[in-house]
Structure 1
């Protein structure tokens, strides 16, 4: 359970996972916790840190404190952990809904970072195949937990908007910031166009799977048949097929065509010291998941009051605000590696995360709704579906040549801001008018 001896080669060999505190064996900045690293005369036998002491009654508590400190200082955003107990207390006391929403909104950000950290630590010990499956399963765990809580409460619009928002924030906001971050340092950046093309093609399939239910719903709007039942059947069948495609993609990436992804994997596998062993990482994963579920519960409960008080639509909250919470740590990681010109890894994080949401999380929620009796479908509103399709189209054009620059990043960012403004003014009672419009065009004059 102790930290590996594989340390950084020098003081300048830092990256986005470098701890905030330099754990020197001679000068500790932890105050009273400085004895965690041991000093001559304190342990009594050499300079061995207390968390490696031969005495079990000393080693175990010191090792716990050491791992806890290393975990908490693994990311700058963890300073926001002070909002976790505050958000839980405010929610438990049923105080001002606006305060409950804001505090729990801020609390989920560091929890998402810790969840990502624990997943990476655990997957690093499990080999490439199992590690890839772990990252695929828990990479979007925060969005999944928030959506499951909302689904159980019957907030279908929140779930749909959150899924679409997570996809858009990754392929436009994150990818755009990555292009800009890399572009300000160099004239042009390159990445594996084959991998990017494969991911974007799957995103196009996901877009098609959303367009078909929305179009069918508009077509059956005036039909005598049970439109809702037909849409449910189509959505559930489509969800099963999408999950199968996602499983095939995992086989493609981790087994049959893993050479295509070797460069990306090698860039991600730097000589970083692993902090948590399998058992501590698993415990951390479970505890953080429970905290995310609690904060998400209070966050979702306060949404209705926010809609009434602030006049913000549920669509805007789910599509713009909630994805920022769930993807904050992932966004920072992608931008940092892009700044270092590791564009294969950055593009993989941005588009790969979107693909997981589109082909795994969203279909899974449809199937889960089927199990628990909630009518979760792939029938997004017509405006949302068109926005999603156009966003995928724009990104596909930008990445097809395997090159990027800051201007392309600004294009992605500008598109995302336009979409955010559009959904800010998008009324909650707006419905799909696609079918009506088509019928008006086809009607004889």
Structure 2
């Protein structure tokens, strides 16, 4: 089944987060059946697993995706418009989740958590509505902000364009003969045949659009020979300088006119492969991979997803029943198990898909999976669990400890910062992964009396 990158990332995130929702629902069912200690334990498991899911997607999934993409590509670019919207949603969710914790730290009433519970339920209603509005914004009214360009362009391609534009006096033209804006912002006239005082395209060695093609290595083929982006720029520029210096171009503007007629072939569909042939994928144009083969129909996809969801629902009850026993038998602290290990298992599908997409230079959809999933968990899954617990008569709130609130705030802050320049590379992935390792070590040492059953 084929979808665009926006919808594809959303579907990956949604069905990936179905695991968290199902496990949380079964944990709350177990809490309702048990005594007071069991109820507190399972509600705490729900809280920490949701916190761990947000942190895992922002740091672990996005970090490994950046590293996987950085191994194959020097740098990858993505649209900042859609990412900035997700960043705003994450900051809003962080503020809403931290508010009950701050209220708990500053109130003077008894420790019955009535105020925190009321505030959590109030916030959850509007967070859920805000996420619905976000879906309308993303999929309908402003979908262009989240759509990926047809040819992913790396910084190497932009460097190739800048080099050729600088060599030709800054004018930009496309391969089909239309003139684009120059570096100074002015528009230059369309390409036309050379005058008596100028240089013809044949003299410059410039291939015509109808007689040129891009081979599997991203190089331009024409009757003039085989050119890479850099070689073509140098050869055309040398010819202009040679002809103009020998006096063949007469008239005050002849030199400028001759230069302005150079078509910017690097702006064509094969720009990425020509500017950096090493990054071009075999048998592709512009560094993009071959089209994915259609494996399943739409009905087949949803049948498989429904079947897998039913299996997950069946297994989730065993997972929730085995959490405390696994912690004791494996010697793993409960905070680490519920905040680190459980979300990793739940996010395994999203993790794998984000890494694969990033490796294929589809960083937009990889971010849609990682960042979009974090947005969905914080703005939809967390409020859903609070409201579901409310209907079940369970006091699930957003009152996290100071340590946990700091972890959430720091994770969102770092993720927003590394996304601000619109580029992904392996160093940013390393920073995200190291932060996640530090958080994991912190939860290994974290003591939580509600999880141990102590009063």
Shift in Å, 1:134: 5.6
Shift in Å, 1:282: 3.7
Instruction: State whether residues 132 and 254 of structure 1, in contact with CA within 8 Å, keep that contact through their aligned partners in structure 2.
Output: no
| 2:36 matches 1:150 | no
CA offset digits 1:269-304 (Å, max 9, x no partner): 984444334444443333322211121111110111
Helix, strand or coil at the partner of 1:263 = coil
Question: Residue 133 and residue 345 in structure 1: after superposition, are their counterparts in 2 closer, same or farther (change >3 A)?
Answer: closer
Shift in Å, 1:213: 0.5
1: CA distance between counterparts of 2:25 and 2:73? 42
1: CA distance between counterparts of 2:126 and 2:415? 24
1: CA distance between counterparts of 2:126 and 2:412? 20
1: CA distance between counterparts of 2:150 and 2:308? 26
Question: What residue in structure 2 maps to residue 241 of structure 1?
Answer: 126
Alignment map for 1:2-21 (pairs within 5 Å):
none
Unaligned runs of 5+ in 2: 32-41, 153-287
Aligned match for 2:64, one of 177, 193, 212: 177
Instruction: State whether residues 213 and 235 of structure 1, in contact with CA within 8 Å, keep that contact through their aligned partners in structure 2.
Output: yes
Aligned match for 2:143, one of 248, 253, 258: 258
CA offset digits 1:249-278 (Å, max 9, x no partner): 101111111111221799899844443344
Aligned match for 1:219, one of 106, 115, 119: 106
| 2:258 matches 1:381 | no
CA offset digits 1:424-444 (Å, max 9, x no partner): 11112289xxxxxxxxxxxxx
CA offset digits 1:24-62 (Å, max 9, x no partner): xxxxxxxxxxxxxxxxxxxxxxxxxxxxxxxxxxxxxxx
2: CA distance between counterparts of 1:165 and 1:371? 24
Question: What residue in structure 2 maps to residue 429 of structure 1?
Answer: 449
Alignment map for 1:128-139 (pairs within 5 Å):
137-139=14-16
2: CA distance between counterparts of 1:407 and 1:359? 29
Helix, strand or coil at the partner of 1:276 = coil
Question: Residue 210 and residue 426 in structure 1: after superposition, are their counterparts in 2 closer, same or farther (change >3 A)?
Answer: same
Shift in Å, 1:137: 4.4
CA offset digits 1:135-154 (Å, max 9, x no partner): 56434111111111112112
Instruction: State whether residues 128 and 254 of structure 1, in contact with CA within 8 Å, keep that contact through their aligned partners in structure 2.
Output: no
Aligned match for 1:285, one of 305, 313, 325: 305
Alignment map for 1:151-166 (pairs within 5 Å):
151-154=28-31, 155-166=42-53
Instruction: State whether residues 152 and 374 of structure 1, in contact with CA within 8 Å, keep that contact through their aligned partners in structure 2.
Output: no
Structure with bigger gyration radius: 2
2: CA distance between counterparts of 1:271 and 1:340? 11
CA offset digits 1:348-385 (Å, max 9, x no partner): 11100111100011100000000111111111222111
Q: TM-score, normalised by structure 1?
A: 0.64
Aligned match for 2:436, one of 397, 409, 416: 416
Instruction: State whether residues 5 and 365 of structure 2, in contact with CA within 8 Å, keep that contact through their aligned partners in structure 1.
Output: no
Instruction: State whether residues 10 and 372 of structure 2, in contact with CA within 8 Å, keep that contact through their aligned partners in structure 1.
Output: no
| 2:341 matches 1:321 | yes
Helix, strand or coil at the partner of 1:153 = helix
Shift in Å, 1:312: 2.5
Aligned match for 2:392, one of 372, 377, 383: 372
Deviates more, 1:162-171 or 1:303-312: 303-312
Helix, strand or coil at the partner of 2:396 = coil
Instruction: State whether residues 264 and 344 of structure 1, in contact with CA within 8 Å, keep that contact through their aligned partners in structure 2.
Output: no
2: CA distance between counterparts of 1:265 and 1:349? 19
RMSD: 2.7
Aligned match for 1:397, one of 384, 404, 417: 417
Q: TM-score, normalised by structure 2?
A: 0.62
Question: Residue 325 and residue 265 in structure 1: after superposition, are their counterparts in 2 closer, same or farther (change >3 A)?
Answer: farther
Instruction: State whether residues 157 and 314 of structure 1, in contact with CA within 8 Å, keep that contact through their aligned partners in structure 2.
Output: no
Instruction: State whether residues 192 and 402 of structure 1, in contact with CA within 8 Å, keep that contact through their aligned partners in structure 2.
Output: yes
Helix, strand or coil at the partner of 2:146 = helix
Higher relative contact order (CA 8 A, sep 6+): 2
1: CA distance between counterparts of 2:11 and 2:311? 20
Unaligned runs of 5+ in 1: 1-120, 432-445
2: CA distance between counterparts of 1:171 and 1:382? 20
